[in-house]
Amino acid sequence: MTGALQNEQLLQTDGSVKKTLNQAGTLFYCHSTCYGQFFEADAVADVRGRVMYHERPTKNCPAVLDINNLRLFDAYEGARQVNSKRQPR
Ligand SMILES: [Zn+2]
């Protein structure tokens, strides 16, 4: 599933927050350790409103989809987020 991210504030691996506008990429879910989805991040100091991050573990992928051929969003690999709003978007 390809989606476009509109007007989101995205948490980067280095802890900074980047605003995005119509960024295209692929959202997928194979199983609990292989997916690429957005989640709401913890509150960030000095940033107003919702901040999202892209989590993309790809462990034990059954290779039903070849992620090397997909346009992917950059994965967030910084400090673990503990926000309880875990619903993927
Ligand atoms: Zn997979």
The model's pLDDT over 2-61, given as tens digits with 9 standing for 90+, comes to 777 888 999 999 999 999 888 889 898 888 999 999 999 999 999 999 999 999 998 888
How many A from CA of 32 to the centre of ligand 1? 9
pTM: 0.84
How many A from CA of 45 to the centre of ligand 1? 34
What residue segments make up the domains of the chain, in order of their start? Answer: 2-69
**pLDDT tens, residue by residue, 46-70:** 999 999 999 999 888 877 667 777 8
Main-chain dihedrals φ then ψ at residue 78, nearest 5 degrees? -90, -155
Contacts of 11 (CB under 8 A, 6+ apart): 17, 41, 44, 51, 52, 53, 76, 78, 81
How many A from CA of 1 to the centre of ligand 1? 13
Single out the residue of 1, 59, 48, 55 nearest to residue 25, CA to CA: 1
CA trace torsion 55, 58, 63, 64 (10° rounding): -20
